[in-house]
Structure 1
Amino acid sequence: MCFAREGSTPFFGTLGPRTDLPVDLRGESFSAWVTPPVDPRSACKENPVETVKTRDAAAAEEAAQIWAHATAKRDENPASDVNHDEAVNLVQESLAHSDRSFLLCLNTDEGMMAFAAIEPSRGSGEEVGEIRYLGVAPGHWGEGWARRLLVAVPGAMRENDFSSGELWVYADNIRAIFVYEAMGWIGTEQTRRHPVTDRVEQRFVLKLG
């Protein structure tokens, strides 16, 4: 599932940044479209979950795999090596953008279940952490992974000295918006056109103070 998109966060976050849970969450890049989340404890009861904050190359590769499949499904296209290569470049570019960029991942014995690529905002200032991409592993959509990941985002952002968070999501991605709002994100009146799809994106913010 992808919430953010490139240039916005697929929701969960394009190729380009997004959070549209495919979650640029350039936004929405994270974006397949999200079903209302269920209690993640039910999905993880017998499968311990580890929350990992990393810049590791192997994690970036795994996150890119999730992103490629999520965006392909979102856009109703077959996944391909091209999708994967583009996704790898997007994730690696986000990490290379700043020493404060990082991946926040939920891992189980099955592998990575969800990730968010977070970096200093390129438009709102270094003190703002932007969820550039957010994705949930195919086969695990609707199990509450995006919501669980978003619970961990504020603390991870604070650790990297961000004072607030932001993400861009397609304005018509009601399912993604529902999840973001439930997790404390606030929609603003600021909108823009996605540079690739020309769809309208809306900016959401999260206060960390």
Structure 2
Amino acid sequence: MANAGERARSRARRVDRAVTGLVVTAVDGAADVLAAATIWARATACRDGDPEPAPGEAAVPGLLKRLDVVGARLVLARVDGRPVGFTLVAPRADALEVWYVGVDPDAWGGGVARRLLRTAEDHARETGHEELRLWVIADNARAIRVYESAGWVGTDEVAHNPRSGRLERRFVRRVRTG
């Protein structure tokens, strides 16, 4: 069993790798969708303390459902060609909705989520949206810290996720356009 110092050094090495050489690009076909789904499965299993993630294929239908929205955009973050995170956004009448922000647990703490959120903000500006919105599981402290540190603001709007039953809270981020 690794001691605390060894775990910290190992985490620092993962963080350094995640920050160095991070490239964010639009998805390029079914393989990238599966890569995003696999990241989602790994991240949610880690978040929820599940010992084994579901197969990535199990998350593909959810991603495809959101990708069917006109104007939806899925981007993948890679380090040295390896997928480490993704976001999926889609326009609403009055905002750009962030449906997914997923980062592989091996890249947690390396700035991947912040970079993906900045990419979503850039896309909002490019498409003329002054506000981004997302839902986050209310007890997901790690994600909430990331959103707040990136300038997102929690609202009083809450809802139970119809699939999981978990309480979610709405976060918003205003961006300047033009």
Q: TM-score category by the smaller chain?
A: 0.7 to 0.9
Q: Which runs of 5+ in 2 are unaligned?
A: 1-11
Alignment of 1:94-173 (within 5 A): 94-98=66-70, 100-120=71-91, 125-173=92-140
SS in 2 for 1:139: helix
Residues 1:53 and 2:26 aligned together: yes
Identity of aligned residues (%): 34
Match for residue 16 of structure 2 among 26, 42, 47? 42
Contact 1:104 1:153 in 2 (8 A): no
Corresponding residue number in structure 2 for 1:19: none
Q: In 2, distance between residues paired with 1:90 and 1:113?
A: 19
Deviation at 1:166, TM superposition (A): 0.2
**Greater CA radius of gyration, 1 or 2?**
2
CA distance 1:160–1:142, shift in 2 (3 Å): same
Deviation at 1:69, TM superposition (A): 1.8
Q: In 2, distance between residues paired with 1:203 and 1:62?
A: 27
Residues 1:195 and 2:162 aligned together: yes
Letter paired with 1:119: A
CA distance 1:108–1:164, shift in 2 (3 Å): same
Letter paired with 1:78: E
Could you list the per-position Cα deviations for residues 25-55 of structure 1 after superposition, in whole angstroms to 9, with x for gaps in the alignment?
Answer: xxxxxxxxxxxxx8x983356x422221346
Match for residue 78 of structure 1 among 43, 52, 70? 52
Letter paired with 1:42: D
Contact 2:15 2:108 in 1 (8 A): no
SS in 2 for 1:195: coil
Letter paired with 2:75: L
Q: Which runs of 5+ in 1 are unaligned?
A: 1-37
Q: In 2, distance between residues paired with 1:105 and 1:85?
A: 17
Structure having the higher helix fraction is 2
Q: In 2, distance between residues paired with 1:91 and 1:54?
A: 12
SS in 2 for 1:126: coil
Q: Which has the higher contact order (CA 8 A, sep 6+)?
A: 1
SS in 1 for 2:124: helix
Deviation at 1:116, TM superposition (A): 0.6
- How many residues are aligned here? 164
Runs of 4+ with deviation above 3 angstroms:
40-45
Letter paired with 1:190: E
Contact 2:18 2:112 in 1 (8 A): no
Contact 1:55 1:102 in 2 (8 A): no
Deviation at 1:160, TM superposition (A): 3.1
Deviation at 1:198, TM superposition (A): 2.2
Could you list the per-position Cα deviations for residues 97-118 of structure 1 after superposition, in whole angstroms to 9, with x for gaps in the alignment?
Answer: 22x1011221222411110111
| Root-mean-square deviation (Å) | 2.5
Question: What TM-score, normalized to structure 1?
Answer: 0.69
CA distance 1:191–1:44, shift in 2 (3 Å): closer
